[in-house]
Amino acid sequence: MKKIIIIGASSGIKSINKDLVKYTSSLIENIEPLHIDISTYNSIPIFSPEHKEEFGSPIEIIQLAALFNSCDGFMISFAEHNGSYVASYKNVIDWISVQGQNMFNHKPMLLMSTSPGPRGAQTVLDSAVHYYPHMGGKVCSIFSLPSFYDNFKDNKIVNEELKAKLSIELSKFQSEL
């Protein structure tokens, strides 16, 4: 059974991106979803080389980096703050990137985003699609869900056209696992 890291890249305890990625992971059979809650990392120090040199890496980051190394793929749904990654998520990625490995190890990735607005956090998603290959990510699928509260109800996508688009992207992702 393939182990897939599932991340709603949001600092909020309740998050529409967490809802989207949880729903999406439930559509794939025969995987072991490893749900990572970024809000549990909100208290780790902001990354700096000086902090790492003086205190070392937080144990939570060392454990998460090992999990990144041992999984078979990633599903990440990005929240967008002012057109970019949520600060706490970016901090986690900064810490993992200095753990002495290729962060995503050329493993398949399904990158997603959603927002209440009509663009569905497309700016941060575009940024991730271009940035993650430089971090060892094998981006094989992308999906943006616009107008979350109109298109996602009762814990599922209700817009049939968007549901079909997600199904195509899931097929691409699964074929790479």
CATH number at residue 11: 3.40.50.360
Please give the tally of structural domains in the chain. 1
| pTM for this prediction | 0.95
- Sequence-distant (6+) residues with CB within 8 A of 139 are 109, 111, 128, 129, 132, 133
Q: pLDDT tens, position by position, for the chain (177 residues)?
A: 999 999 999 998 899 999 999 999 999 999 999 999 999 999 999 999 999 999 999 999 999 999 999 999 999 999 999 999 999 999 999 999 999 778 999 999 999 999 999 999 999 999 999 999 999 999 999 999 999 999 999 999 999 999 999 999 999 999 999
Range of the domain at 46: 2-176
DSSP H/E element including 21: helix 16-26
